[in-house]
Amino acid sequence: MATLLAEERTALQDAVIRLLADRSAEADVRRTMETLEGYDPALWAQLADMGVTGLLVEEAFGGAGAGPLELEAVMEAAGAALLCSPLLASGVLAVLLLQGLDDAEARGRLLPGIAAGTTLATVALTGDSGTWTEDGVAVTASSDNLSGIASYVLHAQNAHVLLVLARDGDGMAVFEVDPNAAGVAISALPTFDHTLRMGRIVFDGAPGRRLAGAAWPAARAAIDLALVGLAGEQAGGSRRVLDFTIDYAKSRFQFGRAIGSFQAIKHMAADLLLETESAISAARNAAARLAEGAPDADAAVSLAAFACADAFVKTTADAVQMHGGIAFTWTHPAHLYLRRARADAQLFGSPAVHRERYLKALGA
Amino acid sequence: MADAMTEDALREEVRAWLAANWQGLPKPQPGAGGAGWTVSPEQKAWLAKVVEARWAAPRWPEAWFGRGLPDAQARIIEREFAAVGAPGSGQDRTNLWANTLLAGGTEGLKQKLIGPLLRQEVAMCLLYSEPGAGSDLAGIRTKAEKAGDHYVVQGSKVWTSGAATADYGMLIARTDWDASKHAGISFFFLPMKQPGVEVRPLRQITDESHFNEVFITDAIVPEENLLKGLGEGWGVLQTALAYERSVMGEGARGPRSGVAESKTEEPMIALAREAGRLGDPLLRQDLAQVIAYRRLNALNTARAKADLAQGTSSPVMSLGKLAMSRILHEEARVRTAILGAGSLLEGPDHPRAEDANFLTLNAYFTSIGGGTDQIQRNIIGERVLGLPKEPEVDRDIPFREVKSGR
């Protein structure tokens, strides 16, 4: 897969970090998560100007032509800032699916808008089972009309374009569906992570436009890259939570001393550093292996998927405990990260599923 | 350009010397009763040649077998030695004993021992820990008292490997009981082969003996064998520990049954397959997790090395030992789970059980030895994360007032 020069990657990451420090501070996140759409269109436009919305889009279609390493770097920054955005839905899943299929007309028509951030696309990958596996697809095509249910669809309620995996005879196909078409009913799902937007879609004979190409392999590749992005988000989020927890442990005094001087806190912090650094290593390694197209990329991606998910959940959960009462309040940011960590750990498969996939990738 | 010429010339010189002199060495043999690695006559002869040619410690000054070379050029020499598999170079970086002595020894002791240490003609051991001073090493109670031109030493040391064959032990002893804990310690080279030094092997929980207890009763150490000044031993020790850590490998051993494990696939997977347990979904989760722990540690280490190569320090390096403790304990737990009731057994007819049980116990070698996991977490918390130290009630009072339990 494509890769930028290391200096370009660092420059991009620095630019994103600066932008998010300014525009995705805690107050911004709290304001955005209360809105209906759940992302800030003005910030999204700035990310587009920076090339982030079209990061993975081929240059011919107005994108940056970047790959897994750049996505991972950007997502570390996004995770740290708890960015609310449709990046995974539109910029990763939809882009990768379109680029993995074999439909030049659809690519030429859709990718420039997605790269520019003006078209929001999303991918309907799984049904109510929420397995993100081939047998979890619960939409069926009949003469290009779709019926059935897609759920846990990222930003479905905001999307201009739906790309829908559907059973098609003995196989599987991707259909482009207008969210406003007859026979499409989208309802927003109430998410435990308020910074996340998901919808459930009921198709009842909805008209779809069949896209050429092998559907599930393209979907699988898109999910793998989304997992790498998610791993970056988890690693970056974990790092940020550890940082502010350490700061708190240095400044919060009880019994006449900083609570971080107590081994009960200090030892938790040391363990969290190990989890966090391991998550960073795993996420970057998965990105590198995928970028190289290495034969062990499958193992690297699944390793990152469960290691980063578990690390982010543990770091955020322990951070709440280490803060004590203050983190039991809504106004403290720790629970926002805990909610994000718990959401990220279920998207595209649970840690247990990824452990099983890892073992299979190792030949067991 | 001039530097490049010098480096090329140096590389040529080393290569030519190695080509003329290096003929390989017989495989080293472990000593009896856990006495460590014995040094063969062939190896001693080789090292003598390396020292004489001034390849052993090229960073050191000419007065001490060196060439006064900067690190980059010394590395060239080390690389050439490594390329042909010849030992003996780079001792200015790796020889714990010689480095400690050179940094703090008296002129007389240096003249006497630096050469033999580089040539491995004298054997050494460490006399640091005591039964009453483990994690709190500065709490040692072995004492050295001045008597004329020598010191008389009294006390006991523990976790000493190679004590039975050692010629000298690097000893920390208390020389001032009115000074505070760290300020009353001095550092000596104690001659081991004398009547006042008694070595007793320790029987470990693995039923092996790799360490000894050393009982010291009125042992004599000449004044010349004191490093730096009286009361400056804690500082010398820190230097010595830094050398030790910088060359310490993983240290942890693998299975000991001698029955081979798979080399073509992950050993843990192969063991589960062999036991017919690979289909157990709960066990599969455990397997994936322990394999991941080891893999993540390797990735962390690789990242730390890359950071170091770029000149930035990495917090990851200090995490390795803590990570390895978890890897070893968890692998042993999963090995046991694979065997189930089979782990009740031991002995040569039950090699897999022997390995699982041995590794379960030997995991503590890493989680206790060289600083317990708990001490390691303190170090990470304080030195990496910058958290404040615990208040130390015994730090600034005369040591004779410090409470001691066991």
Chain B positions in Cβ-Cβ contact with residue A288 (cut-off 8 Å): none
Of B281, B289, B390, the CB nearest to A261: B390
- For residues A315, A318, A324, A326, the Cα torsion angle rounded to the nearest 10 degrees is 30
**pLDDT at site B246:** 66
Neighbours of A8 (CB within 10 A): 13
Distance from CA of A141 to the nearest CA of B (A): 35
Q: Find out whether A236 and A80 touch, Cβ atoms under 8 Å.
A: yes
Task: State the complex-level ipTM.
Answer: 0.94
Dihedral sign computed on CA atoms, order A281, A287, A291, A293: positive
Establish, for the pair of chains A and B, how many residue pairs have beta carbons separated by less than 8 Å: 119
Q: Find out whether A93 and A122 touch, Cβ atoms under 8 Å.
A: yes
A25 interfaces chain B, CB cutoff of 8 Å:
no
Chain B positions in Cβ-Cβ contact with residue A286 (cut-off 8 Å): none
Of B292, B303, B319, the CB nearest to A358: B292
Of B266, B316, B386, the CB nearest to A362: B266
**pLDDT at site A40:** 98
> How would you label A29-59 residue by residue, b for 16+ Cβ within 10 Å and e otherwise?
bbebbeeebbbbeebbebbbebbbbbbbbbe
Angle value at C-alpha A162, between A161 and A163, nearest 5 degrees: 120
- Nearest residue on chain B to A250, alpha-carbon basis: B387
Chain A positions in Cβ-Cβ contact with residue B322 (cut-off 8 Å): 270-271, 274
CA–CA dist B362, B5 (Å, integer): 51
**pLDDT at site B1:** 41
Chain A positions in Cβ-Cβ contact with residue B297 (cut-off 8 Å): 278
In chain A the first and final C-alpha atoms are separated, in Å, by: 28
CATH superfamily of A6-116: Acyl-CoA dehydrogenase/oxidase, N-terminal domain (1.10.540.10)
Distance from CA of A174 to the nearest CA of B (A): 33
Nearest in space to A57 (alpha carbons), one of A82, A90, A83, A32 = A90
Q: Find out whether A275 and A319 touch, Cβ atoms under 8 Å.
A: no
- Nearest residue on chain A to B291, alpha-carbon basis: A359
Distance from CA of B24 to the nearest CA of A (A): 38
CB contact under 8 A, B303 and A284: yes
CA distances from B372 to A102, B367, B369, B392, B393 (A): 58, 5, 6, 18, 21
Q: Find out whether B133 and B141 touch, Cβ atoms under 8 Å.
A: yes
Task: Tell me the DSSP string of A337-350.
Answer: HHHHHHHHTTTTS-
Of A260, A277, A284, the CB nearest to B388: A260
- Nearest residue on chain A to B272, alpha-carbon basis: A364
- What is the SS3 string spanning chain B? CHHHHHHHHHHHHHHHHHHHHCCCCCCCCECHHHCCECCCHHHHHHHHHHHHCCCCCCCCCHHHCCCCCCHHHHHHHHHHHHHHCCCCCCHHHHCHHHHHHHHHCCHHHHHHHHHHHHCCCCCEEEECCECCECCCHHHCCCEEEEECCEEEEEEEEEEECCCCCCCEEEEEEECCCCCECCCCEEEEEEECCCCCEEEEECCCCCCCCCCEEEEEEEEEEEHHHEECCCCCHHHHHHHHHHHHHHHCCCCCCCCCCCCCCCCCCCHHHHHHHHCCCCCCHHHHHHHHHHHHHHHHHHHHHHHHHHHHHCCCCCHHHHHHHHHHHHHHHHHHHHHHHHHHHHHHCCCCCCHHHHHHHHHHHHHHHHHHCCCCHHHHHHHHHHHHCCCCCCCCCCCCCEHHHCCCCC
Task: Give residue for tokens 């054997």.
Answer: B123
Of B295, B300, B323, the CB nearest to A303: B295
Dihedral sign computed on CA atoms, order A245, A249, A251, A253: positive
CB contact under 8 A, B269 and A363: yes
Q: Find out whether A77 and A18 touch, Cβ atoms under 8 Å.
A: no
A350 interfaces chain B, CB cutoff of 8 Å:
no
Of B291, B302, B387, the CB nearest to A260: B387
Name the pTM for this structure: 0.90
CB contact under 8 A, B303 and A260: no
Of A250, A257, A355, the CB nearest to B288: A355
Distance from CA of A242 to the nearest CA of B (A): 10
A248 interfaces chain B, CB cutoff of 8 Å:
no
**pLDDT at site A317:** 98
Low-confidence ranges of chain A (pLDDT < 50): none
Would you list which residues of chain B are within 8 Å, Cβ to Cβ, of chain A? 265-266, 269, 272-273, 278, 281, 284-285, 287-289, 291-292, 295-297, 299-300, 302-303, 315-316, 319, 322-323, 374, 376-378, 380-382, 384-391
A178 interfaces chain B, CB cutoff of 8 Å:
no
Chain B positions in Cβ-Cβ contact with residue A280 (cut-off 8 Å): 303
CB contact under 8 A, A263 and B390: yes
| Residue B196 backbone phi and psi in degrees, to 5 | -80, 5
The residues spanned by each domain of chain A are 6-116, 121-214, 217-361
CB contact under 8 A, B291 and A265: no
CB contact under 8 A, B272 and A364: yes
For residue A314, what is the enclosing H or E element?
Answer: helix A297-323
The CATH class of A217-361 is mainly alpha
Of A266, A356, A363, the CB nearest to B381: A266
Of B284, B297, B381, the CB nearest to A269: B381
**Which residue type occupies B134?**
G
**pLDDT at site B2:** 47
CB contact under 8 A, A282 and B391: no
Neighbours of B27 (CB within 10 A): 6
Low-confidence ranges of chain B (pLDDT < 50): 1-2, 33-35, 249-250
Q: Strand A145-154 relative to strand A139-142: parallel, antiparallel, unpaired?
A: antiparallel
pLDDT (tens digit per residue) in A219-262 = 999 999 999 999 999 999 999 999 999 999 999 999 999 999 99
Q: Find out whether A137 and A262 touch, Cβ atoms under 8 Å.
A: no
- Nearest residue on chain B to A265, alpha-carbon basis: B381
CATH number corresponding to A121-214: 2.40.110.10
CB contact under 8 A, B296 and A356: no
Q: Which of residues 90-129 of A touch B (CB under 8 A)?
A: none
Of B272, B319, B382, the CB nearest to A273: B319
